[in-house]
Structure 1
Amino acid sequence: MSENPASLNFHQARFCVSADKLHQCPDDSLAEVAFAGRSNAGKSSAINTLTQNGKLARTSKTPGRTQLINFFDLNIPGIRIVDLPGYGYAKVPIAMKTHWQKHLDAYLQHREALKGVVLVMDIRHPMKEFDEMLVSWCEKTGMPLHVLLTKSDKLTRGPAQSTLLKLTAQLRKRLGDGVTLQTFSALKKEGVDTLRARLSELLLPPQDAAQDDQA
């Protein structure tokens, strides 16, 4: 059987460009999904695990290293994943945090190619201030939201599932079918297939996404 030409291969993700301001972003692509989250939530580790490339997104013991919007091309031209600056924890000047927030707002509000947001939250510390801000924005705009509850290996299965179910009920009341949630562990490589399937749904036309999910 020949390989589906519309199938996304996240292993082939490669760095495209970094942008400090909206006008520095590449031309609006066909579709992109942005990863957002507090800078200690494990966002870079999630992207590296998704792509099986430990050096694709920066990781550091010092939260807040990602200070630019980083674009990564996938194997289909015009389709990208985007790493947004970590927010809310980094020990940086207030002026820099203000700049990040302004830049994030501009990107979220004006990026036409944006098809969905992956909100990365530490499963032990969900729904902090930045998380609530992003959920509210998705609620207001109707932007599809996928919640990635990272570091699930830090909890036993019972508490992890309890947190997942509680947040699912809470967010479905607000966003309906516009939100999906899952647990994820970069350390144990758990939840990777679920994340890839959801990204395919967001990035590809419905028919191609269904074929990609079956591939």
Structure 2
Amino acid sequence: MKNLTAALCAMIGLCGAANAAITGVTGQTTWLGSPPASCVPLALTGFNAYAWDEQQNITLATLAVDMTNNPGTSAFMIPGLLGGTFDSHFIHFEGIPGVISAQGTVTFATNIVGVIVKPLTLDNSDATCGSFGTVYPTTYPFRGINTTIPSFFSINANTITFNLAALSAVGEVAQIRVITDAVPAPGACALLGMGGMIAARRRR
């Protein structure tokens, strides 16, 4: 019984680790372990882009996204509607004087199924996908990408590669919302493993 308990504890730990939706970043990217208090203009500036997990395991009947094609690039985006259970993540860049761009990658635990980059689409998804407690620049016209200085990104499987630009003179904030397949919750994973172990023990 002690061995079974130890194995279950280990399994719960592994499931908890698997539930971390962002798994890695490169380049000029800062991975925030918890969502920021605000990402409105002047609230989150610096040399790097910031990435964080938003709402996880959210079930939506309809979610409008600007890009559904994976692999794909921002030069050719196919918009569409998503429905199902997803994880949401956010990438934000607002430079400081003399710094107008940031390049990097963000990798997730599961594949990317949609990307949201236009001001109106971002506005419409802030409430349903955004982090609880984070103030977003909803209705702000200079958010997203391709406003004054073109930004670029590409996606392939579970990784997004970006070159974000934001002109501080007009208060631009480059922002991308990334929608991925949901990662199973730790509780569900642990219960599944527990059921299998108990069944195996009874068969002995």
Task: Please report the TM-score for the alignment, with normalisation by the length of structure 2.
Answer: 0.29
Larger Rg: 2
Larger relative helix fraction: 1
Q: Going by fraction, where is strand more abundant, 1 or 2?
A: 2
TM-score after normalising by structure 1:
0.28
Higher relative contact order (CA 8 A, sep 6+): 2
